[in-house]
Structure 1
Amino acid sequence: MQALEQKGLLPAQMLAQLPTFMAKIDALAAELGLALADYQADHIALRVNDREEAEALHQAWLAYGEEWSNNEINGRPIIVIGFHEPLKVGPWTIEALELPYPGDKQYPQEGWEHVEFVIPSTVNDTDSLKTVLDETFPTLAWDRLSEQGIKVKASSPSGEHERLANPTYAFKKAGVCIKLHPCSLKAVIASENA
């Protein structure tokens, strides 16, 4: 726990950093032309590079919520903890934490990494999701994003028992990432149990 405290990664420290991180999310959304205030900030994700630290954080965050899911995705555990008290930041109420155990990739910075927003639709692939995003956010200038230093990644992550497709677009710049997908994590987890 001492290593986590030195890195500022204990839950209380992370919660204190949340307003600053969400201000960066808001600034990236504005740069992208995404008006996200009316959309659900589904969950927030935390990244660490050390497995023992991930295990310690997993246990520490359980004081703030209950484990909704412990699923193997892309060869590593991804923990989802639903908060007892959802986090309220700006116009958003965040109901869950995603804590991926580290894989092969080393993150340049540990701590808060992304927020995923639900853009409700029934699409089940990234091409259809892009069409929805174009209609929902007409000011999103895909062709200029790389000039702005924004990396875009489309993916369709899924756990072993998921029955609900949840294609995702990620927009990343300067260690901050916004992900957009059609279904909430809660709905995806519920589909595993269906």
Structure 2
Amino acid sequence: MQTLEQKGLLPTQMLAQLPAFMARIKQLALELGVSLDNYQADHIALRVNDWATAEQLHQAWLAYGEEWSNNEINGRPIIVIGFHTPIEVDGWTIEALELPYPGNKPYPQEGWEHVEFVIPAKAADTDALKVVLDNTFTALAKGWDTLAEKGIKVKASSPSGEHERLPNPTYAFKKDGVCIKLHPCSLKAVIDSEQA
């Protein structure tokens, strides 16, 4: 089995790859007609395909922060690590890392996969969130029908952990191995709701 270093997945390697990944996030936002400059880049997520790699990464990233949450969602652990020092990249401050243990779907590439941005709102479901997004981003509101032609996949979901009290519907926009997720509450707020 390849080591984390051979896979390019050591935290130091991944942090070095972050500016290029965020440039791709910005490019996707541009295609969506969405300016995210003034919104919180809540957390960043990576994807790996085997359990042993996820376990190694889980331990490696704990040197950079503390475990905020270890929750089972859709039958697999999702780890959230809050950084001791938030990561500053491209004008955004990212406070947490999401590390899902692998499910049954292999990813074409391991590494950074998505960034979730907080669009503050009281939206209890995906329909309410869509109204918020349409009102916030007029270019997106006019362009939903053209996203598929641009090769952008859209997925609306309401993922939730066992003890979450705060609804956090999400819209995900994915293209070429990069994904932007928009939701109304920060991951920290959702985790705090579990402990309430």
Q: Which band: TM-score by shorter chain?
A: over 0.9
Letter in 2 for 1:151: K
Using the alignment, how far apart are the partners of 1:34 and 1:102 within structure 2?
30
Structure 2 residue corresponding to 1:170, chosen from 158, 172, 177: 172
After superposition, the C-alpha distances for 1:74-126 in whole angstroms (9 at most, x for unaligned) are 00000000000100011200000000000101000100000000000011100
- 1:88 — aligned with what? 88
- 1:7 — aligned with what? 7
Question: Normalising by structure 1, what TM-score?
Answer: 0.99
1:183 aligns with 2:185: yes
| Structure 1 residue 44 displacement after superposition | 0.0
Letter in 1 for 2:172: A
Structure 2 stretches lacking a partner, 5+ long: none
What's the C-alpha RMSD, in Å, of the aligned pairs? 0.8
1:122 aligns with 2:117: no
- 1:55 — aligned with what? 55
Pairs within 5 Å for 1:28-47: 28-47=28-47
Structure 1 stretches lacking a partner, 5+ long: none
Q: Secondary structure at the match of 2:78?
A: strand
Pairs within 5 Å for 1:16-27: 16-27=16-27
> Where does structure 1 differ by over 6 angstroms across 4 or more consecutive aligned residues?
none
Using the alignment, how far apart are the partners of 2:2 and 2:144 within structure 1?
43
Using the alignment, how far apart are the partners of 1:94 and 1:131 within structure 2?
26
Q: Aligned residues, how many?
A: 194
Change (3 A) 1:88 1:80: same
- 2:195 — aligned with what? 193
Letter in 2 for 1:19: P
- 2:153 — aligned with what? 151
| Structure 1 residue 2 displacement after superposition | 5.3
